[in-house]
Amino acid sequence: MDKCQQIKAHVRMEERYEGLSLIFGDNKLLKGEILQAIDDTKKETGQKPFIFDKISNDRQDIQCIYVEFHDDVHREAGDFFTKVLKKLNIDHCEKDI
C-alpha cells in the first residue's frame, strides 16, 4: 500500500542543491517511519545529508522532515531520495507549481 495520501513528498533541485521534504501532518508514527527510512538509507549509502524538521503546533501543513544535499556536484542525492521514497512506499512526488 502506498503512503502518498499520508506523506506528501516534494523534491526541489537547483544547481548543486537538492532537497526532499516529507510532509506527514502531526502523526508521530509516520515521523518515526520517515526518520528510520532516512537513517537506514544513510547507513546503506554512506551519504550524510543535512536533516532537519519543521514542526508547528498550529499548522499541520508544516509538520515536515527535510533532507538536503548542498554542493551535490555529482547529483548523488537523487538515488538517496529514491531509496527513502521506496522504503516509505511513496511512488510519486507532489506536483508543485
Task: Convert the pLDDT of each residue in 73-87 to its tens digit.
Answer: 667 888 999 999 999
Give, in words, the CATH class of 8-87.
alpha beta
The whole-number pLDDT of residue 92 equals 79
Give pLDDT tens digits for 38-96. Answer: 999 999 999 999 999 988 778 766 789 999 998 776 678 889 999 999 999 998 777 66
pTM: 0.86
Alpha-carbon distance of 47 to 24, in angstroms, equals 23
Q: What HEC string does the chain produce?
A: CCCCCCCEEEEEEECCEEEEEEECCCCHHHHHHHHHHHHHHHHHHCCCCEEEEECCCCCHHHCEEEEEEECCCCCCHHHHHHHHHHHCCCCCCCCCC
